[in-house]
Structure 1
Amino acid sequence: MDLAWLEHSQYFAALAVGFFGGVHCLGMCGGLISALSFTQQAKMPKVKTHRLPILLAYNLGRVTSYALAGALAGALGASFLSLTGLQTAQHILAFFAALFMLALGLYLAGIWQDVAQLERFGSGFWRKLEPLSRRFIPIRTPWQAFPFGMIWGWLPCGLVYTILIWSLSAGSAWQGLLLMLAFGIGTLPNLLLIGVAANRLTQFSRQPAVRLGAGLMVCAFGLMMLWRLTLNF
């Protein structure tokens, strides 16, 4: 059973899922990043401000946390693979990842909302972690924004958790890291643009046609994963 297709296509797929799933990111983080964009003007109205370095540092911190989480998931999956038959176990993990990808697509499309239940698993951890981020508020420099973004990278999110489940089947800590890194990079265009055109993008993202299109695109990746897995059995 040849799994080479996973190694060559999974990173591009994760990148695309991050981009098209950015509709969900707009709802989760849009208000926060908009606040980051204008916090300096509110706190220091007489000082010339530069919003882009703040936004870049925040998102770099967020993506760094995604990559670390992917490495942990990949290492966990690799440990599981080492205890059983490599190819069979990797196919099983990839199969469940594909199912979660389909569920995520339906969630983004507004068709099936139960994926949001995944966010409950991290709610307890987040309640303990979130207060640490308040130490960096108000954010006036990129050096404050980066650790703030790292903390908020652990915000419970069904979209992130689904890609983490996918990372379990990556095969190693390094591959899991790259998978989540690709996903995080894919989310950047949407979240960086929020700081520039928050209101317009938020209104755009709430349109049913946009949500449906993004969800169906993610579903297509899930179906592709299932189809290619069946070819290798």
Structure 2
Amino acid sequence: MDGGISLGLPAATPEAVAFLLVGLFGGAHCLGMCGPLVSVYADRLADREGVDRRSLTVRQVRQHALFNVGRALSYAAIGAVFALVGGLFFDAFDSVAAVGSGVRATTGLLVGGAIILTGVGYLVGQSAAIDRFTPTAVTRLFGRVSGWATARVDRLVGGPRILGLGAIHGLLPCPIIYPAYLYAFSTGEPLRAAALLGLLGLGTIPTLFLYGTLLGRVSARRRATLHRALGAAFLVLGYIPLSHGLMLLGVSVPHLHVPFYQPL
């Protein structure tokens, strides 16, 4: 790091842009997980207002916004926790320079490789295969949490508690969010990770907001196009820790300049 103190916050860096693009293009995938719940609470809101789902009122717009802000805040908070754990993990090895460098390099290779493989899966149209890597226990937990939330939509949808309904999604199994959490772990910088995951969450908002209000559905063709774009964004995101890991091993490769990116 250059002189001065870094708060670890991303500016207009390649990683910040990549996280935002992952969110924007990943919104189509989010519909598979969040779409049913969004449809349920959107219908409940419309019923309460006595209007058609697509006839938006100020209150409906506010509730949709709160739901999506809850998701983004949840991603940011969990990303910060992963980064904190990563920072403690790296600090444990930093007392021995050779070991610490090797651990950081290995982490970069593993995290970067996992994210790149995820991107390739989306590029070749095999995103469903990625879902199969989710452990059965996690899938069951998702079903229980989703069922719990759906059963309580009527209580949560009408006021500020809809923030919590959105926040639940940060804990659910998702091939978009989990690679991002791994990346957060590799940075070891909670503030930076929170900002990056927040950007990702904000990027998903347009698709889910439009789905819950005006669209109601996204065509399979449009979703496939967005998945390919998502795959390209993941390739960029995964290359950052991968290239830093290689350089720590003495392998010179082209790399994207990410200010204050210390661990890898």
Which of these residues, 124, 142, 153, is aligned with residue 126 of structure 1? 142
Q: Distance in 2 between matches of 1:80 and 1:116?
A: 28
2:138 is matched by which residue type in structure 1?
A: G
Partner of 2:126: 111
Could you tell which deviates more after superposition, 51-60 or 181-190? Answer: 181-190
1:218 is matched by which residue type in structure 2?
A: F
Could you tell which deviates more after superposition, 95-104 or 212-221? Answer: 212-221
Which of these residues, 89, 114, 117, is aligned with residue 103 of structure 2? 89
Partner of 2:229: 213
- Alpha-carbon distance, 1:45 to partner: 1.9
2:228 is matched by which residue type in structure 1?
A: L
Partner of 2:32: 27
- Alpha-carbon distance, 1:58 to partner: 0.6
Identity among equivalent positions (%) equals 24
Alpha-carbon RMSD: 3.1
Deviations 1:147-185 (CA, angstroms, capped at 9, x unpaired): 111123322112111111111111133233223222212
- Alpha-carbon distance, 1:214 to partner: 2.8
Please report the TM-score for the alignment, with normalisation by the length of structure 2: 0.73
Please report the TM-score for the alignment, with normalisation by the length of structure 1: 0.81
Partner of 2:190: 173
Matched residues, number: 230
Which of these residues, 6, 9, 18, is aligned with residue 13 of structure 1? 18
Q: Distance in 2 between matches of 1:155 and 1:108?
A: 19
Q: Kindly indicate whether the alpha-carbon contact (under 8 Å) linking 1:53 and 1:142 is maintained by their aligned counterparts in 2.
A: no
Higher Cα radius of gyration: 2
The 1:107/1:146 distance shift into structure 2, 3 A limit, reads same
- Alpha-carbon distance, 1:229 to partner: 4.4
**Structure ranking higher in helix proportion:** 1
The 1:34/1:15 distance shift into structure 2, 3 A limit, reads same
Gaps of 5+ in 1: none
Q: Distance in 1 between matches of 2:16 and 2:139?
A: 28
Which of these residues, 148, 151, 171, is aligned with residue 168 of structure 2? 151
